[in-house]
Amino acid sequence: MEFFSPALVTGPTFPLPATDELLQSVLDVSLTPIQLWRPVCGPDSAVTNFILDYLNPASQRMPARPGSTLLACFPPAEVAGIFAFCHRVFVTGVAGRYDTPCQADEPTTLYQLVARRSGALLIVSFPDTADYTRPAAEEALRDSQIREAAALAKALRQRRRLFSLFKEAPGLVARLSGPDHVIELANDAFRQAFGFRELVGKTYREAAPELTNQRFFDWLDEVYRTGKTYHGNEVPAHLDRTNSGQLEPSYFNFTYQATHDAAGAVAGILVCAYDVTEQVVARQQLQQLNEALETSVRERTQADVLAAPELTQAASQVLPLLDMMQGAVERFQLTLAQLTDIVRLQAAHTQPAETVDLATLIEDVRLDLAPLLAAAKPDIRVDVTGCPSVSFAPRNLRSIVYNLLSNAVKYRDPARPPVVQLRCHSTEGATVLEVQDNGLGLDETQQARLFGLFQRLHSHVEGSGVGLYMIKKIVGNAGGTIRVESQRGVGSSFVVSLPG
């Protein structure tokens, strides 16, 4: 609440003796906090802040110290209107009073600021209002102000929390404004992709000129014009990640989603992206290796056939062998892919843990297994209410759930409908994930070999015998354990215990 008056003091006044010593004594014994603030001006001579030049002893219980600034000492000052009040008093020269909560985060009472300009300084005092008896109307207004301040403080805390989540999000997140796509916000991952160059306040085209002629700006323009969301999958991009002028090939999955103003019109675009360069490059390299291997096998086979003309008559016998060799090549490709994953385990265990929504991760895995699930039609029962979120490396946790769930379905017993139960609960110091099925089951001899490399215990199902070995390595690297409880003809239960 704000009051302005050219003279806040009424009645007769008397001039003070012109001695600095007397004035200093008055300030020293005053029970009212009194401070002198000096304005800080920007390039255009506009007042942007105030620096504290002096505070009397009564002010020393407050957080401000000489040389500190108003906005630094009182972070909520701008939101609470304190800075605007001081600015108006200094600029207009009209003294005024301003009521504001004592603490912006926990407003329990109000205090008053009384301000007056004196030359190049702003004099601010803080009268004690604890013993002031207010009229009922003023008391009601005061209570209303406190409630409003509490609501504002709560909103500010929520805003800080949301901003913290936005800033620390693992994906690339940015908010663009207007048809020119001015970057209003960009989290650390987004800024890192562009070498931490200056982005905020610039148009996207100005901040990232290397994206010109790469279609990204065309897609943004289309989203802003139509309001329709655009999804990109493994889209190539050449970025100057080091700000050296050297463009590096990258790949991204991303979404451009329009944001709207109060009237429902498109006001900007929210950019959410994930850098999938490592995955795409690894797949490309593996594909090249597979193609080279297939070419080598084909050329060698053709050379052997053509080397002896007499073998032409036996071509009908050779062709089935070629089909067998092709199958062997495909199985070798699968094994090679699994071995590549095993090699990556040495680096994977160093991946930082993140908070993962377990239900969402399980649903993603079910989508990946859609062909298998459609063929087997299992009854999958999921209960993760005991630990809805898990702190673990997302990619590794996905591998664990994927392998255990796919095995539970693949090794089903044809004599009965498959039922798979996936449960999770927390114990002291650990998160326990359990996958139970009513499949073929294992005897004790098979259980002893289960987690070994290249161990395949059922020949009727395609596989390389690497999946459970990888899971045990992932869990072990994280300091956890995995065990199996199984009975042949009844089913199996895999229990994974993760620390934390």
What does DSSP assign to residue 430? E
User: Any idea which fold 2-157 has?
Assistant: Beta-Lactamase (3.30.450)
384 has pLDDT over 70: yes
**Type and span of the H or E element at 305:** helix 277-307
d(CA 127, CA 109): 13
| Contact between residue 79 and residue 104 where contact means Cβ atoms under 8 Å apart | yes
* Mean pLDDT, residues 477-495 taken together: 91
* Mean pLDDT, residues 196-217 taken together: 93
251 has pLDDT over 90: yes
pLDDT at 323: 62
Share of the chain above pLDDT 70, in %: 75
d(CA 272, CA 78): 31
Q: What is the pLDDT of residues 437-471, one digit of tens each?
A: 999 888 888 888 877 766 665 555 665 567 788 88
CA torsion sign for 159, 161, 165, 167 is positive
Q: What is the pLDDT of residues 63-104, one digit of tens each?
A: 777 888 888 877 665 656 788 889 899 999 999 988 776 554
What does DSSP assign to residue 203? B
**Domain layout of the chain by residue ranges:** 2-157, 169-275, 292-348, 354-499
* Mean pLDDT, residues 382-409 taken together: 90
Written as six digits, the tokens of 241 are: 């990640």
d(CA 384, CA 359): 7
* Mean pLDDT, residues 164-190 taken together: 86
Distance in angstroms between the alpha carbons of the first and the last residue of the chain: 50
CA dihedral 104, 105, 108, 111 (to 10 degrees): -20
417 has pLDDT over 70: yes
The count of other CB atoms within 10 Å of the CB of residue 55 is 20
| Contact between residue 238 and residue 247 where contact means Cβ atoms under 8 Å apart | yes
User: Any idea which fold 169-275 has?
Assistant: Beta-Lactamase (3.30.450)
19 has pLDDT over 60: no
Residues 6+ apart with CB under 8 A from 472: 451, 482
Residue with the bigger pLDDT between 120 and 165: it is 120
Residues 6+ apart with CB under 8 A from 261: 267
- What's the whole-number average pLDDT of the chain? 81
**Strands laid side by side in the 34-41 sheet:** 2-4, 96-101, 110-118, 121-125, 34-41, 47-55
| Contact between residue 211 and residue 224 where contact means Cβ atoms under 8 Å apart | no
pTM of the model: 0.35
Rg (the chain; Cα; Å): 35
pLDDT at 217: 95
pLDDT at 482: 93
| Contact between residue 237 and residue 194 where contact means Cβ atoms under 8 Å apart | no
Residue with the bigger pLDDT between 318 and 240: it is 240
476 has pLDDT over 80: yes
Partners of residue 223 on adjacent β-strands: none
127 has pLDDT over 80: no
Q: What is the CATH number of domain 354-499?
A: 3.30.565.10
Residue with the bigger pLDDT between 473 and 459: it is 473
pLDDT at 8: 44
Q: Same fold for the domain at 2-157 and the one at 354-499?
A: no
Residue among 79, 68, 255, 273 nearest 159 (CA): 79
Q: What is the pLDDT of residues 334-375, one digit of tens each?
A: 555 555 555 555 544 557 889 999 999 999 999 999 998 999
d(CA 187, CA 196): 10
